[in-house]
Amino acid sequence: MVKKKLMAALLGTAMAASLLTGCGGAADSGNSGSGDSTTAAAVEETEEATEAASEEATEAEASEEATEAAADDSAGGKKVGIAMPTKSLERWNRDGAYLEEQFKGKGYDVALTYSDNKVDQQVKDIEGLIADKVDLLIVAAVDGESLSQVLAEAKDENIPVISYDRLILKTDAISYYVSFDNYTVGKLQGEFVRDQLDLDNAEGPFNIEFTAGDPADNNAGVFFKGAYEALEKYIDDGKLVIPSGQTEFDQVATKAWDTPTAMSRFQNILASNYSDGTQLDVALCSNDSTALGVTQAIETDYAGTNSVIVTGQDGDEANLANIIDGKQTMTVYKAVANLAVATLDLGVSILSGETPDAGLIDKAGWDFKCVYDTESYDNGTGKIPSFLLDPTVVTKDNIQTELVDTGYYEMGEDGYPHPTK
Ligand code: BGC
């Protein structure tokens, strides 16, 4: 910011100088008598303008610094502890980076931990953050049910906790939940399949298999429910058939959202139900890490030649490449950069002693959609007030507008999008 303003002021000076030099030049050629004095005056004016501009720039700089200092003051040396689940699932790297950037930008100290998808590690990480006397905790849980004890310690220390992206269950230590509308994520996947197959008009039947996420992650069941319910009526009337018979969340779940686990389960499904030439039309996968495994299984173990509709979520790099190459059909993108902005404003509000509610959305004036929901997310101790952002369907057709033009990704020379964070 300081740099931008300084540059603008200096550019202004240069322009003023060149305009004045221009006048001097004209006088030189048209009126040599008074030319010198005009030039001298112009030089003097230029110098004055330069001085004024550089004073302005210094003032601008000083006022920017004051603003930053004020931000520091409002942060008041406060520290924010961020506990992310793992670096091995791509999106959390982006979440961590965006959150860190947002809070540091406002002058907060930030401690960011990753727990290698291990519950014990995450408990230790959070204990460490509490011992470190953080003023606010932002937690994306590895396992939604395993943090009750450690978060009770946070509560004892009066540290507010924001449940980030994944709802943390069985604890009354959570102040707020910030996420995307998880049911809608699944619903968008189901509706995408409905539209691709034109289920309201086509005769079918079509064959579909589901792959869901980690049972330890509260989101996984919600995504599956959203997708399944969008397709249920077509399943009930026989237009959509599930040859494996695996229709329950527990049957289709993937521990730790792990790619190789999703792949080997899908290889089994293909071997048991499709090796006789049965056509697979859809692999509905809850997210990109599972879609990646399923796509690999289809590539190596599926005998059919049709292109299977494959859904996903997140916009992971390898999956976007697969979308470009036609191996995956869509992903549901969640702008985690915006989630970080919402989390910052929520965190700042909590730390200033407010009790944020729907009013925060108006006050913050975000340029993205967000709803305040006090009904949908009950964590077993009561309903948790939630701020929910809007997910977006991304296909080959809108990768450029949704992901590249928005600055989240850049298109590489290899023709594939790469995350900018
Ligand atoms: C997130 C998804 C992500 C999955 C695995 C879920 O809790 O909401 O965006 O794909 O975890 O990382």
Q: pLDDT of 68-77, one tens digit each? A: 444 445 688 9
Asked if pLDDT for residue 278 goes beyond 60, the answer is yes
Q: Specify the ligand 1 atom closest to the Cα of 179.
A: 8
The pLDDT of residue 31: 34
Residue 9 has pLDDT above 60, yes or no: no
pLDDT of residue 29: 33
Q: What digits encode the pLDDT tens for the residues 342-393?
A: 999 999 999 999 999 999 999 999 999 999 999 999 999 999 999 999 999 9
Ligand 1, residues 313, 317, 320, 338: which to mutate, most atoms within 8 A of Cβ? 313
pLDDT tens, residue by residue, 176-187:
999 999 999 999
Check residue 142 and give its pLDDT. 98
Comparing 67 with 323, which gets the higher pLDDT? Answer: 323
Range 390-403 average pLDDT:
98
Lowest mean pLDDT among 67-81, 113-127, 268-282, 345-359: 67-81
User: Which residue's alpha carbon is at the smallest distance from atom 10 of ligand 1?
Assistant: 287
Whether 214 is in the pocket of ligand 1, judged by its Cβ within 6 Å, is no
Average pLDDT, the chain: 88
87 vs 60 pLDDT, higher one: 87
> Per-residue pLDDT tens for 20-63?
333 333 333 333 333 333 344 444 554 554 455 455 555 555 55
* pLDDT score of 73: 56
Assess whether the C-beta atom of 94 lies below 6 angstroms from ligand 1. no
Does any ligand 1 atom lie closer than 6 A to the CB of residue 123? Answer: no
Task: Tell me the whole-structure pTM to 2 decimals.
Answer: 0.84
Average pLDDT over residues 396-411: 97
What's the rounded mean pLDDT across residues 130-155? Answer: 98
Of all protein residues, whose CA lies closest to atom 3 belonging to ligand 1? 287
Cβ of residue 319 lying under 6 Å from some atom of ligand 1: no
> Is the Cβ atom of 219 under 6 angstroms away from ligand 1?
yes
**What's the 180 CA to ligand 1 centre distance in angstroms?**
11
**Overall average pLDDT of the 337-346 stretch:** 98
What does the pLDDT read at residue 168?
98
The mean per-residue pLDDT over the stretch 127-142 comes to: 98
Please check the confidence at residue 395 and state whether its pLDDT lies above 90.
yes
Mean per-residue pLDDT for 109-130?
A: 98
Query: What distance in Å separates the CA atoms of residue 22 and residue 39, rounded to the nearest whole number?
Result: 10
Amino acid 59: pLDDT: 56
Q: What is the pLDDT of residue 43?
A: 43
Query: Which residue minimizes the CA distance to atom 6 of ligand 1?
Result: 219
